Structure 1
Amino acid sequence: MLRVEALTKRYKTGDKALTDVSFDVPSGQVVGLIGPSGAGKSTLIRCVNRLVEPSSGKVFLGDREITRVGRGELRRVRRRIGMIFQEYALVERLTVMENVLSGRLGYVPFWRSFLRRFPQGDVDKAFALLDRVGLSDHVDKRADALSGGQRQRVGIARALEQDPELLLVDEPTASLDPKTSRQIMRLICEICRERGLPAIINIHDVLLAKMFVDRIVGLRAGRIVFDGPPDALDEEALTAIYGSEDWNAMRKEADETAKDAAEAADFEARAQAGAA
């Protein structure tokens, strides 16, 4: 379980990115982190694994206080936290399998990683994960030959190769089309529930978040202004997070976009079936 207590991040300029942020994420729960640009969503995720150092507050993973460990111990703590990035963060010239196995770099001696001679158990686990994310036919393909959705699936498998106790996901669908975005969100949430893995997903698409996550935390100006189930995210809550807007009009526009995407996918499927 993740526990965040009164987390604050103040920059040298005096600006606050986060102010007294507190929440828990129990095992198996997927939390969608939403809010306008500059609300502090990415800063919060990076403070949890200390890619950004918080100014004050505490972060616990299980009984371990992450914010107290020194640099040497921090490397071992980060092995317990899987990270999935918006821009995939793959090594383009390496194969899919080699990218997934890089999730074990914190566990194996340097000579093994340098020679790419990972223990057979790690390799077997990587094969199983690639099968789970639907990439068993792409094991030897270079990362730069993959589509955006396939790259994100590699990123998911790599994070799981770490055997994490927490998953942090930063804008996993920002560069993907609507159909692929739904597939990726469904995959992440299913895997977290299968493994009892707590997760925080920083996501800009509110409707996508409502469709898949268990709970939504809304940030505005570095403070939590909403924390509840997706069905409680009504117009009042959205206004508190994003400010005044015609939410009904936006919802209709989003519904039309989803309908167009579904029709396009259906047309493509029928075209492929006809070609076969």
Structure 2
Amino acid sequence: MLTVDALTKTYKTGDKALKAVAFTVPKGQVVGLIGPSGAGKSTLIRCINRLVEPTSGRVLLNDLDITALPGSGLRRARRRIGMIFQEYALVERLTVMENVLSGRLGYVGFWSSFLRRFPAEDIESAFRLLDRVGLMEHADKRADALSGGQRQRVGIARALAQDPELLLIDEPTASLDPKTSRQIMRLIVEICDERGLPAIINIHDVLLAQQFTQRIIGLRAGEVVFDGPPAALDEDVLTRIYGEEDWTAMRRSAEEDVAAERDAAERMAGMV
């Protein structure tokens, strides 16, 4: 379980990016983190694993107080937190398999990692992960030869190679088309369910968040202004989070996109 307790981030300019943010995420729950640009979503995710240092408050992962750890302890703790990035953060010149195995770098010695020599069990696990994310046949391809959706799947497999206790996912669909976005979200949710992993997904697409996550946390100006089930995210709540917008028209457009994609899939199936 993840516990965020009164987490605050104040920059040297005096700007408060986070204001006493508090919530818990139990085992296996996938949380969608939404809010306008500048609301503090990315800052929150990075404060949880201390890529950004919080000003005050606590972050606890199961029995471990991450905010109290010194450098060496923090490095060990980060092995327990899988991070999936919007821009994939892959090493382009390395193969898919090598990128996945990089998730094990925190567990092997310097020379083993430098020479990319990993234990047999790590390699076997990496093959299983590639199979799970649908990339087994791409294991020996360079990362720069992959599509955006395939790169994101490599990022998911790499994070899982850490054998994490928590996933932090920063805008995983921002660079993807609608169909691929739904496939990636579905994959993340299925894997979290299979492994009992709690996850926080920073996501701009409200409808994707509603469709795939079990809980929504809405941030505005560094404060939690909504925390509840996706079904409760009505027009009034969305206006509280984002401000005035024609939410009905936005939902209608997204539903039409999904229906068109479904119709196209059914036509293709009928041709086989």
Q: Distance in 1 between matches of 2:264 and 2:61?
A: 43
Find the counterpart in structure 2 of residue 135 from structure 1. 135
Deviations along 1:75-97, one digit per CA (max 9) or x if unpaired, are: 00000000000000000000000
Deviation at 1:265, TM superposition (A): 5.0
Amino acid at match of 2:90: L
Distance of 1:74 and 1:24 partners within structure 2: 21
| Mapped partners of 2:94, 2:210: distance in 1 | 35
- Aligned ranges for residues 27-46 of structure 1 at < 5 Å? 27-46=27-46
Q: What amino acid maps onto 2:88 in structure 1?
A: Y
| Structure 2 match to 1:61 | 61
Please state how far the C-alpha of 1:235 moved relative to its aligned partner: 1.0
| 1:16 equivalent in structure 2 | 16
Question: Is residue 104 of structure 2 the alignment partner of residue 116 of structure 1?
Answer: no
Q: Distance in 2 between matches of 1:247 and 1:36?
A: 14
User: What letter is aligned with 1:248?
Assistant: T
Deviation at 1:261, TM superposition (A): 3.7
2:47 aligned with 1:51, yes or no? no
Alpha-carbon offset, residue 264 of structure 1: 4.9
Q: Hey, what's the Cα distance between the residues in 1 that align with 2:116 and 2:266?
A: 42
* Structure 1 CA distance for aligned equivalents of residues 238 and 188 of structure 2: 24
Kindly state the Cα deviation for residue 210 of structure 1 after the two structures are TM-superposed: 0.6
Conserved 8 A contact 1:178-1:261: no
Paired with 1:266 and 1:147, the residues of 2 have a C-alpha distance of: 24
Paired residue type of 2:32: G
Q: The residue matched to 1:106 in structure 2 has which SS?
A: helix
Whether 1:194 and 2:194 are equivalent positions in the alignment is yes
Give the secondary-structure state (helix, strand or coil) at the position aligned to 1:160.
Answer: helix
Q: State the one-letter code of the partner of 1:17.
A: A
1:98/1:61 CA distance change after superposition, 3 Å: same
Bigger Cα displacement from structure 2, 98-107 vs 236-245: 236-245
Which residue type is aligned with residue 114 of structure 1? Answer: F
Q: Which residue of 2 aligns with 1:76?
A: 76
Alignment of 1:263-274 (within 5 A): 263-264=263-264, 269=268
Deviations 1:248-268 (A, max 9, x none): 11111222233344445556x
Q: Does the Cα contact within 8 Å between 1:179 and 1:262 map onto a contact in 2?
A: no
Task: Write the mapping of 1:104-253 to structure 2, written as runs, cut at 5 A.
Answer: 104-253=104-253
Distance in 2 (CA, whole Å) between partners of 1:265 and 1:204 is 26
- What do residues 39-71 of structure 1 show as CA deviations (whole Å, max 9, x unaligned)? 000000000000000011100001111001011
Q: 2:70 & 2:172 partners in 1: Cα distance? A: 30
After TM superposition, the score normalised by the length of structure 1 is 0.96
Aligned to 2:7, the other structure's residue is in SS state: strand
Question: Partner amino acid for 1:100?
Answer: V
CA offsets 1:169-228 (integer angstroms, 9 cap, x no match): 000000001111000000000000110000000000010011111100000000000000
1:110 and 1:235 map into 2 onto residues whose CA distance is 53
Q: Which digits, 9 at most, give the CA deviation of each residue in 1:77-136, with x for residues without a partner?
A: 000000000000000000000000000000000111111110000000000000000011
Identity of aligned residues (%): 75
Q: Secondary structure at the match of 1:168?
A: strand
> Aligned to 2:50, what secondary structure does the other structure show?
coil
Q: CA deviation at 1:18?
A: 0.5
Alpha-carbon separation, structure 2, partners of 1:257 and 1:135: 27
Q: Deviations over 1:118-174 (max 9, x none)?
A: 000000000000000001111101100000000000000000000000000000000
Paired with 1:111 and 1:146, the residues of 2 have a C-alpha distance of 29
CA distance in 2, matches of 1:118, 1:144: 23
Look up the match of 2:259.
259
User: Letter of the aligned partner of 2:4 in structure 1?
Assistant: V
Aligned to 1:26: 26
**Partner of 2:208: helix, strand, or coil?**
helix
RMSD: 1.3
Structure 2 residue ranges without an equivalent (≥5): none
